[in-house]
Amino acid sequence: MAAKREHSKILLIYTGGTIGMVKDYHTGALKAFDFAKVVEGIPELGQLDCAIDSVSFRSPIDSSNMNPRHWVTIAGLVEKHYSDYDGFVVLHGSDTMSYTSSALSYMLENLEKPVIFTGSQLPIGDLRTDAKENLITSIQIAALKEEGLPVVREVGLYFENKLYRANRTTKINAEH
């Protein structure tokens, strides 16, 4: 009899940024995506071997307004839910994601689980967008285990098909 594999439990933390936006086709305005319905909105996530829950900031933060108070909120959410989840994915605006993820890498000591930051250049609701690939791959990285243990045990940043150590990243180009 084959051993039953345990699904990873991932918590998405939506702070704001382009990755979480969808267009209202009646008004043309962008509005926040409802991450409580993320698997319904992005059915590809149902193919992953994990359970996904989400929590969103009450008001999405433009990354140019992200500050240390928000960093403390993100760290607090990871700490509060640390024992309930196998990994965390933080959705963040790309302009200051390097600063926030680097700060969190120092705030969250002795991590044994992944905390993966990601964002996008285009809204998740666009037809052709980097948001879905970044989200899906970040969740896969956060859920990845080897011999029952998380493969990544630190704060990382996944963007443009690469995973980086969060405290080794910088924003180079405002066009990307």
| Tens digits of residue pLDDT in 100-143 | 999 999 999 999 999 999 999 999 988 899 999 999 999 999 99
Structural domain boundaries, residue 36 = 8-167
**What confidence score (pLDDT) does residue 123 get?**
92
**Helices within 1-146 (DSSP H only):** 38-41, 68-81, 97-107, 131-143
> Residue 174 falls within a domain, yes or no?
no
> Residue 3 falls within a domain, yes or no?
no
> Residue 1 falls within a domain, yes or no?
no
Report residues of the chain scoring pLDDT below 70. 1-6, 171-176
Number of domains the chain contains: 1
Q: How many CB atoms lie within 10 A of CB 99?
A: 19
Q: Among this protein's residues, is 18 annotated catalytic?
A: yes
> Residue 58 falls within a domain, yes or no?
yes
- Threshold 0.85, pTM exceeds: yes
> Residue 175 falls within a domain, yes or no?
no
> Residue 147 falls within a domain, yes or no?
yes
**What confidence score (pLDDT) does residue 98 get?**
95
**What confidence score (pLDDT) does residue 2 get?**
44
Q: Looking at 15, 18, 118, 137, which residue is catalytic?
A: 18
Rounded to the nearest 5 percent, the helix, strand and coil shares of the chain are 35, 25, 40
> Residue 108 falls within a domain, yes or no?
yes
CATH code of the domain covering residue 139: 3.40.50.1170
> Residue 2 falls within a domain, yes or no?
no
